């Protein structure tokens, strides 16, 4: 999706429909990343 609202979206983007912003707190993901990696290592996840 174009960052600049003056740029029209391509036909492909139009086909995807209206943009829906994610409400996920990306900063929180960064805070929890180290603990998540440790947990996955302990569980043997590859």
- Can you give the pLDDT at residue 21? 87
- Can you give the pLDDT at residue 24? 92
User: What is the CB neighbour count within 10 angstroms for residue 29?
Assistant: 10
1-46: pLDDT as tens digits: 788 989 998 999 999 998 888 899 999 999 999 999 999 999 999 8
- Can you give the pLDDT at residue 36? 97
CA–CA dist 12, 16 (Å, integer): 7
- Can you give the pLDDT at residue 19? 84
- Can you give the pLDDT at residue 31? 96
Our CA angle for 18, 19, 22, nearest 5°, is: 140
Closest CA to 13 of 30, 1, 29: 1
pLDDT averaged over every residue in the chain: 92
Ordered by start, the domain boundaries in the chain are: 21-46
């Amino acid at each position: 999706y174009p960052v600049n609202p003056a740029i029209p979206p391509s036909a492909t983007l139009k086909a995807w429909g209206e943009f829906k912003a994610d409400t996920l707190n990306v900063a929180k993901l960064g805070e929890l990343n180290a603990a998540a990696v440790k947990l996955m290592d302990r569980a043997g996840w590859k």
